[in-house]
Amino acid sequence: MGAESRRATIYLDSDLHRALKMKAAVSSRSVSDLVNDAVREALAQDEEDLKAFEDRSGEPLVAYEEMLGWLKADGKL
């Protein structure tokens, strides 16, 4: 753990916790390292999603019903 690490209490489903402990054991990593990596990955995905929304902000909005109509007209539904 780095010098800037903070302690936090989280509650995991018991099966998830058991699997996480097993993965830590077989990969010779700590549960904290695995959780930190998973959180980093989730936050990075959020950042990618926000960037994609920003990149497409100038595109016209299409109503869900309208899109369904287009798909039906094209024989895709």
- Quick one: average pLDDT of 58-71? 94
Q: How many domains does the chain have?
A: 1
- Please give the Cα distance from 69 to 60 (Å, whole number): 17
Q: Specify if 7 maps to a domain.
A: no
Under the banding of pLDDT at 50, 70 and 90, the label for residue 1 is low
Enclosing H/E stretch for 62: none
Q: Specify if 48 maps to a domain.
A: yes
Would the pTM count as exceeding 0.85?
A: no
Dmax (CA) of the chain: 59
CA dihedral defined by 50, 5, 19, 23, rounded to 10 degrees?
Answer: 100
List the domain range (segments joined by +) for residue 44. 14-73
Q: Specify if 34 maps to a domain.
A: yes
Q: What sign has the CA pseudo-torsion 24, 29, 31, 35?
A: negative
Give the pLDDT confidence score for residue 2 in this predicted structure.
Answer: 62
- Are 22 and 53 in contact by the 8 Å Cβ rule? The answer is no
Tell me: the pLDDT tens digits for 17-61? 999 999 999 999 999 999 999 999 999 999 999 999 899 999 999
